[in-house]
C-alpha cells in the first residue's frame, strides 16, 4: 500500500519507517509533522492509508481525520499514539485501527492488513468531536484548509457556503445552519444567509438607503442585517 506517516516527533516517524520497511510490501509516500500538513499532502499524493498521530500541533489527528474523510478518495486511517485514552474518540473518527506506542511490528502488520481490506469500503464522515480549527474546501480534487481565525464571514450561495477569508474566497459543503451550531460563539448571524466573525465587526450602522448594516475591520464590505436578526446582533455586540 501507499502510505503517509504523520507524527510531530522525528524519532517516532523514523521508527515507523523502519518497521514498515521491515514488513515490506508498502511504499511511504511522505511524512508530515502536523495535521494540516497531513491533509495537504494526502490531497496531493493520494495515499491509500495514513498512519496518524493524535496529539500534534496546528491541527490534531482527530480533526485531520475529519478533513481526510472529505477527500474524493479518502485514505484508510490508522491512529498511532502514546495515549490509549483516545481510543474511543479514534473509532468515532472511523479509524480502521488504533496503535499504542511503542508499536510492535506484529500489531502494525495487523493494522495495515486491516487498512488494505477496508480501504475500498464506503467512508462515513466522522462524527463531530472537538470543534474544528479549520474549514475544508474541495478544489478540483484537492483540499484547501482555511484557519478559522482567518474567516471574515460566511455567506450561503445556493447549495454551498462561500467562506470569505484573509486570502480570498472558497466554497465549502457545510451548511450555514451546521456552521452556526458548531461555531455560534465565534460568529454572529446577521441575516438568514450570513454569519459574521464576531471580532470582525467594527460597527453596526446604516447605509445610504437607511438599511442596518455591519461594517467589518478587514474588508470594505457592508453586510445587511435583517430585521429578524437585528435585536440579537445588538445584544451580542454589547457583550463584545
Domain ranges of the chain: 2-118, 146-239
Query: Is it true that domain 2-118 has CATH number 3.40.50.2300?
Result: yes
Regarding beta strands 76-81 and 222-224, do their DSSP bridges make them parallel or antiparallel, or are they unpaired?
Answer: unpaired
CA-to-CA distance for 222 and 158, rounded, in angstroms? 21
Q: Has residue 120 got a pLDDT over 90?
A: no
CA-to-CA distance for 31 and 10, rounded, in angstroms? 9
Task: Indicate the pTM of the whole model.
Answer: 0.75
Report pLDDT for 222: 93
Element (H, E) at 62: helix 61-68
* Banded pLDDT at 91 (limits 50, 70, 90): low
CA-to-CA distance for 163 and 144, rounded, in angstroms? 12
The pLDDT mean for the chain works out to 89
How far apart, in Å, are the Cα atoms of 141 and each of 62, 73, 125, 126?
22, 9, 17, 20
Q: Has residue 140 got a pLDDT over 70?
A: no
The tens digit of pLDDT for each residue in 153-170 reads 999 988 899 999 999 999
Which fold, 146-239?
OB fold (Dihydrolipoamide Acetyltransferase, E2P) (2.40.50)
Amino acid at each position: 500500500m501507499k502510505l503517509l506517516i504523520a507524527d510531530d516527533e522525528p524519532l517516532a516517524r523514523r521508527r515507523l519507517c523502519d518497521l514498515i520497511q521491515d514488513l515490506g510490501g508498502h511504499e511511504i509516500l511522505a511524512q508530515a509533522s502536523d495535521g494540516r500538513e497531513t491533509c495537504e499532502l494526502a490531497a496531493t499524493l493520494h495515499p491509500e492509508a495514513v498512519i496518524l498521530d493524535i496529539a500534534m500541533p496546528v491541527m490534531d489527528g482527530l480533526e485531520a481525520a475529519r478533513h481526510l474523510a472529505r477527500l474524493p478518495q479518502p485514505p484508510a486511517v490508522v491512529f498511532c499514539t502514546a495515549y490509549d485514552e483516545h481510543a474511543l474518540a479514534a473509532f468515532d473518527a472511523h479509524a480502521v485501527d488504533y496503535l499504542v506506542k511503542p508499536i510492535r511490528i506484529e500489531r502494525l502488520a495487523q493494522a495495515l492488513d486491516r487498512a488494505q481490506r477496508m480501504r475500498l469500503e464506503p467512508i462515513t464522515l466522522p462524527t463531530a468531536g472537538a470543534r474544528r480549527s479549520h474549514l475544508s474546501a474541495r478544489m478540483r480534487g484537492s483540499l484547501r484548509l482555511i484557519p478559522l481565525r482567518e474567516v471574515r464571514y460566511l455567506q450561503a450561495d445556493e447549495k454551498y457556503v462561500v467562506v470569505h477569508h484573509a486570502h480570498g474566497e472558497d466554497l465549502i459543503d457545510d451548511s450555514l445552519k451546521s456552521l452556526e451550531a458548531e461555531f455560534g460563539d465565534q460568529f454572529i448571524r446577521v441575516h438568514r444567509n450570513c454569519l459574521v466573525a464576531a471580532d470582525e465587526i467594527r460597527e453596526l450602522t446604516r447605509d445610504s438607503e437607511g438599511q442596518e448594516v455591519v461594517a467589518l475591520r478587514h474588508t470594505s464590505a457592508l453586510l445587511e442585517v435583517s430585521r429578524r436578526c437585528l435585536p440579537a446582533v445588538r445584544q451580542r455586540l454589547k457583550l463584545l
